[in-house]
Structure 1
Amino acid sequence: MAYHQKFAAYIGADFFRCGALYAWNAREDAIYLSKNRKPEKFMYNWIVE
């Protein structure tokens, strides 16, 4: 069984996002994102083949 997912973890911008911290966490059940050390939020399911 293979698990995968495709997404844009970073997209450059024309302006500076003053000190923003993005932390991605790939777990067995899904992919989560934390912004500025706030609690993680569900972002993407794994695609199971």
Structure 2
Amino acid sequence: MPQLVPFYYMNEIVFSFSLIVITLYILSKYILPRIVRLFVTRMFIDKI
């Protein structure tokens, strides 16, 4: 049973925290700027 290993929960916490950090980094670096750029161009096109 892996729950009996002393570092099991620490390993779970570290892995999940690192997964959240990596996901947030990818979102903020690549995906969210595209969405913001799309909305800004839509606003500019709508004003014209």
TM-score (norm 1): 0.20
Structure with greater strand share of residues:
1
**Structure with the larger RCO, 1 or 2 (CA within 8 Å, 6+ apart):** 1
TM-score normalised by the chain length of structure 2:
0.20
Asked which structure has the greater CA Rg, the reply is: 2
